């Protein structure tokens, strides 16, 4: 088990956003957590990278080690990387500098030139714009930069937060295609949290359905996509 | 050059050195500080005490002064780990007042009378003053600019800038907020300490009020004017704000008013400073230097 989350509780002051959520991800899997706005998806990802504290009984294991109390920058070093909601690239750094921040502390372990070549193959636009300030990129380009910035460190697991948000449909398709390729061709373990259930279920192995902070359903993605309740609630069919 | 021009130049250079320190903290690492004069003062007082009480020569004392100031900067930078933005601004103002009060009320620091009789810097038996002291100050300024330039190019600098832009995103990239905020504070305050040492040996008499809150505001104005987070901004800002009061000497009472007006105009029309990104001057320079080829 690469990532194991037990009884995750997240509260913001008195408001509890996530109630006793447990899930796990095997190495090489692509797993989705789908749910509506405010279901607690982003909270779960933020807890995984250590940006929000989780409740007392909660525990998070990564490669068999308890990381529940590690600060986020140490989790990043262990190989957990996130593509944050709305990309959050560093606006006044250039595209290239943004990519460099991704391998901070791992310079010795990563072959920068080879990694860049590999990434530019996926996202040619990043090579064209490498000297441009990243705030001059379009929304879609910033998302690509955010993915590349996370991938450059050869992460063990990639967390992807609402990547479809604010992207035009054509780009959403392309980005999901890339995520699917990364998983199938390069064996990268990916956890996606998404509102766009159809797009993420299509490329996933397994999925969890989150409602009001609780997991209400789980199973193989191919099975869930056929499920009547899912189709009604999330796919609008 | 007349000795008047030289003296004004020396003060401009010293202010620029201190401003480069603040630029590291505010401009690059994005940690707002309104108490930078405290470190300028700590540098000046350390230099004054080391030379008058311990009889140390400048060349030995100066590195020590930077160590002391940087060390205190490390401790006083700790609040930046807990509080952000406006709260940090208020905390640093508080630090400035506390440090000034310590200078004023602790007898060891000479109280309201300050410390006098600070010797001139000697170099191979020669007393440095006027042009030769300006030369020393310029050398120090050169070193400080070099360190700033190196900072924008090295990994630690990149980490600091990423932190300044978006702390959450940076820490999820593996960048430790604690380490790099403190690093910025140490480098920035050590530079202020160097400026303080040069100031003490130029004035040869220092008092607590030289390092009060208005001085912090002035240093911040200077980098806002020149362009925060740019390599040449602090120098341009120091030259303009340093020379203006001399040019407008007849209106000396209106100096603070002038600062205020300049700051307001800058924030309204050129928020990133004279040399900041997208500023008019930068666009013009780019046009002439690169022939209009937009590279960066």
* pTM above threshold 0.90: no
Instruction: Name every chain A residue with its beta carbon within 8 A of the beta carbon of B173.
Output: 73, 76, 81, 101-102, 104, 149
Residue A202 within a domain: yes
Tell me the β-bridge partners of A18: A10
What number is the average pLDDT over the span B116-122?
Answer: 91
Token representation of residue B296:
């960066």
Q: Within this chain, do residues A9 and A69 fall inside the same structural domain, yes or no?
A: yes
Quickly state the pLDDT bin for B26 (edges 50, 70, 90): very high
The per-residue pLDDT for B294 is: 46
A207 to chain B nearest CA, in Å? 24
Token representation of residue A233:
């609630």
| Residue contact B169–A92, C-beta within 8 A | no
A73 to chain B nearest CA, in Å? 4
Q: Note the Cα A9 to chain centre separation in Å.
A: 19
| Residue contact A97–B158, C-beta within 8 A | yes
Contact by Cβ (8 Å): B190, B69: yes
How far apart are alpha carbons B42 and B48 in whole angstroms? 10
pLDDT digits (tens, 9 = 90+) for A148-194: 999 999 999 999 999 988 788 888 888 899 999 999 999 999 999 99
Q: Note the Cα B284 to chain centre separation in Å.
A: 28
Instruction: Name every chain B residue with its beta carbon within 8 A of the beta carbon of A106.
Output: 174
The per-residue pLDDT for A235 is: 67
B81: exposed, middle or buried (Cβ count in 10 Å: 0-12, 13-18, 19+): middle
Among the listed residues B5, B6, B18, the one whose alpha carbon sits nearest the alpha carbon of residue B200: B18
Q: CA A150, A135, B30 angle in degrees (round to 5)?
A: 80
Domain boundary among A128, A154, A180: A154
- List C-alpha distances in Å: A142 to A122, A124, A149, B24, B152: 14, 13, 10, 27, 23
How far apart are alpha carbons B277 and B296 in whole angstroms? 10
How far apart are alpha carbons B271 and B251 in whole angstroms? 27
Residue B292 Rama label (left phi>0; alpha psi -120 to 50; beta): left
pLDDT digits (tens, 9 = 90+) for A5-30: 999 999 998 889 999 999 999 999 99
Q: Within this chain, do residues A128 and A223 fall inside the same structural domain, yes or no?
A: no
Token representation of residue B86:
């406006």
Q: Within this chain, do residues A69 and A105 fall inside the same structural domain, yes or no?
A: no
Helix (DSSP H) and strand (DSSP E) numbers for chain A: 10, 10
What number is the average pLDDT over the span B241-250?
Answer: 80
| Residue contact A73–B296, C-beta within 8 A | no
Tokens 């050869």 belong to: A154
Domain boundary among A111, A127, A154: A154
What number is the average pLDDT over the span A52-77?
Answer: 93
pLDDT digits (tens, 9 = 90+) for B32-49: 899 999 999 999 999 999
How far apart are alpha carbons A183 and A191 in whole angstroms? 10
Tallying the residues shown for chain B, one arrives at 296
Q: Within this chain, do residues A170 and A119 fall inside the same structural domain, yes or no?
A: no
Q: Within this chain, do residues A171 and A227 fall inside the same structural domain, yes or no?
A: yes
What number is the average pLDDT over the span A221-235?
Answer: 85
What number is the average pLDDT over the span B172-192?
Answer: 93
8-state DSSP, B112: G
Instruction: Name every chain B residue with its beta carbon within 8 A of the beta carbon of A88.
Output: 166, 168-169
Q: Specify the number of domains making up chain A.
A: 2
What number is the average pLDDT over the span B195-200?
Answer: 97
Tallying the residues shown for chain A, one arrives at 237
Lowest mean pLDDT among A46-60, B208-222, B240-254, B280-294: B280-294
Question: Which chain A residue is nearest to residue B272, measuring alpha carbons?
Answer: A92
Instruction: Name every chain A residue with its beta carbon within 8 A of the beta carbon of B229.
Output: 92
pLDDT: which is higher, A107 or B75: B75
| Residue contact A104–B229, C-beta within 8 A | no
Q: Within this chain, do residues A118 and A163 fall inside the same structural domain, yes or no?
A: no
Domain boundary among A132, A154, A176: A154
B268 to chain A nearest CA, in Å? 20
Q: Within this chain, do residues A98 and A210 fall inside the same structural domain, yes or no?
A: no
Quickly state the pLDDT bin for B295 (edges 50, 70, 90): very low
The neighbour count for residue B204, using CB atoms within 10 Å, is 16
The CATH number of residue A46's host domain is 3.40.50.300
Residue A222 within a domain: yes
Instruction: Name every chain B residue with its beta carbon within 8 A of the beta carbon of A131.
Output: 295-296
The per-residue pLDDT for B257 is: 81
Tokens 């006044």 belong to: A92
The per-residue pLDDT for B65 is: 97
B40 to chain A nearest CA, in Å? 29
What number is the average pLDDT over the span A200-218?
Answer: 93
Question: What phi and psi, each to the nearest 5 degrees, are found at residue A196?
Answer: -75, 85
Contact by Cβ (8 Å): B111, B117: no
- C-alpha radius of gyration, chain A, whole number: 17
Tokens 């050129």 belong to: B270
Predicted confidence (pLDDT) at residue B168 exceeds the cutoff of 80 = yes
Query: CB contacts < 8 Å between A and B, how many?
Result: 76
Residue A122 within a domain: yes
The per-residue pLDDT for B290 is: 67
Predicted confidence (pLDDT) at residue A116 exceeds the cutoff of 90 = yes
DSSP letter string, B209-225:
GGGSHHHHHHHHHHHHH
| Residue contact B166–A88, C-beta within 8 A | yes
From A77, A91, A94, residue closest to B165, measured CB to CB:
A91
Q: Within this chain, do residues A173 and A60 fall inside the same structural domain, yes or no?
A: yes
Q: Within this chain, do residues A74 and A173 fall inside the same structural domain, yes or no?
A: yes
Chain A neighbours among B 259-278 (CB < 8 Å)? Answer: 277
Which residues fall within 8 angstroms of residue A236, CB to CB, at 6 or more apart?
A: none
B173 Cβ under 8 Å from any chain A Cβ: yes
Predicted confidence (pLDDT) at residue B251 exceeds the cutoff of 90 = no
Which residues fall within 8 angstroms of residue A39, CB to CB, at 6 or more apart?
A: A210, A211, A212, A213
| Residue contact A49–B229, C-beta within 8 A | no
The per-residue pLDDT for B158 is: 93
The neighbour count for residue B272, using CB atoms within 10 Å, is 18
Give the sign of the dihedral formed by CA A31, CA A36, CA A42, CA A47. Answer: negative
Q: Within this chain, do residues A164 and A208 fall inside the same structural domain, yes or no?
A: yes
Alpha-carbon dihedral angle through residues B27, B31, B37, B41, given to the nearest 10 degrees? -110
Token representation of residue A164:
């479809």
Contact by Cβ (8 Å): B192, B123: no
Predicted confidence (pLDDT) at residue B266 exceeds the cutoff of 60 = yes
Predicted confidence (pLDDT) at residue A100 exceeds the cutoff of 70 = yes
B247 to chain A nearest CA, in Å? 36
Residue A139 within a domain: yes
Residue A84 within a domain: no
Q: Within this chain, do residues A16 and A75 fall inside the same structural domain, yes or no?
A: yes
Domain containing A18 equals 3-79+158-235
| Residue contact A72–B229, C-beta within 8 A | no
Q: Strands (DSSP E) along A13-129, which ranges?
A: 15-25, 30-35, 59-62, 65-66, 80-83
How far apart are alpha carbons B167 and A230 in whole angstroms? 37
Question: Which chain B residue is nearest to residue A73, measuring alpha carbons?
Answer: B174
Q: Within this chain, do residues A103 and A116 fall inside the same structural domain, yes or no?
A: yes
Residue A86 within a domain: no
Quickly state the pLDDT bin for A237 (edges 50, 70, 90): low
8-state DSSP, B251: G
Residue A164 within a domain: yes
Token representation of residue A134:
């990243």
Lowest mean pLDDT among A44-53, B103-112, B210-219, B237-246: B237-246
Question: Over A122-168, what HEC string results?
Answer: HCHHHHHCCCCEHHHCCHHHHHHHHHHHHHCCCCCEEEEECCCCCCC
Pairing of strands A157-161, A80-83: parallel
């Amino acid at each position: 088990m690469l990532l194991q989350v037990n009884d995750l509780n997240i509260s913001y002051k008195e408001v509890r956003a996530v109630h006793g959520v447990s899930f796990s991800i095997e190495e090489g899997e692509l797993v989705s957590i789908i749910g509506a706005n405010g279901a607690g998806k982003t909270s779960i990802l933020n807890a995984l990278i250590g940006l929000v504290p989780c409740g007392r009984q909660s525990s998070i294991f990564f490669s068999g080690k308890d990381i529940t109390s590690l600060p986020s920058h140490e989790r990043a070093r262990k190989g957990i990387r996130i593509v944050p909601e709305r990309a959050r690239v560093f606006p006044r750094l250039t595209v290239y500098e943004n990519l460099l921040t991704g391998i901070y502390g791992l310079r010795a372990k990563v072959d920068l030139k080879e990694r860049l070549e590999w990434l530019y193959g996926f996202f040619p636009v990043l090579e064209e714009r490498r000297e441009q300030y990243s705030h001059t990129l379009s929304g879609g380009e910033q998302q690509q930069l955010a993915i590349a910035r996370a991938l450059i460190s050869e992460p063990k697991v990639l967390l992807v937060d609402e990547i479809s948000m604010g992207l035009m449909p054509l780009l959403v398709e392309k980005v999901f295609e890339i995520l699917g390729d990364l998983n199938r061709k390069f064996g990268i373990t990916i956890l996606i949290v998404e509102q766009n259930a159809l797009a993420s279920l299509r490329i996933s192995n397994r999925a969890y359905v989150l409602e009001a902070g609780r997991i209400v359903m789980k199973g193989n993605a191919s099975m869930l996509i056929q499920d009547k309740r899912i189709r009604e609630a999330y796919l609008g069919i | 050059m007349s000795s008047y021009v030289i003296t004004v130049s020396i003060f401009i250079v010293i202010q620029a050195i201190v401003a480069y320190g603040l630029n590291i903290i505010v401009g690059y690492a994005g940690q707002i500080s309104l108490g930078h004069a405290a470190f300028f003062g700590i540098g000046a007082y350390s230099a004054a005490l080391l030379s008058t009480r311990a009889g140390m020569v400048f060349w030995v004392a100066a590195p020590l002064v930077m160590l002391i100031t940087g060390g205190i900067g490390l401790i006083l930078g700790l609040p930046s780990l807990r509080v952000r933005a406006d709260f940090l601004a208020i905390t640093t103002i508080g630090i400035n007042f506390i440090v000034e009060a310590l200078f004023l009320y602790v007898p060891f620091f000479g109280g309201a009378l300050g410390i006098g009789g600070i010797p001139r810097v000697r170099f191979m038996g020669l007393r440095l003053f006027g042009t030769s002291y300006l030369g020393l100050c310029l050398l120090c300024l050169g070193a400080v600019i070099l360190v700033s330039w190196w900072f924008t190019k090295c990994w630690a600098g990149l980490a600091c800038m990423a932190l300044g832009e978006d702390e959450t995103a940076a820490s999820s990239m593996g960048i430790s907020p604690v380490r790099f905020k403190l690093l910025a504070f140490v480098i920035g305050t050590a530079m202020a300490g160097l400026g303080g040492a040069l100031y003490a040996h130029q004035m040869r008499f220092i008092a607590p009020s030289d390092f009060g809150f208005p001085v912090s505001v002035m240093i911040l104005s200077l980098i806002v004017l020149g362009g925060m987070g740019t390599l040449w901004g602090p120098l341009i800002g120091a030259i303009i704000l340093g020379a203006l009061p001399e040019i407008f000497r007849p209106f000396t009472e209106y100096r603070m008013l002038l600062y205020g007006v300049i700051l307001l105009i800058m924030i309204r029309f050129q928020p990133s400073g004279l040399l900041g990104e997208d500023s008019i001057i930068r666009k013009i320079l780019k046009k002439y230097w690169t022939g209009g080829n937009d590279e960066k």
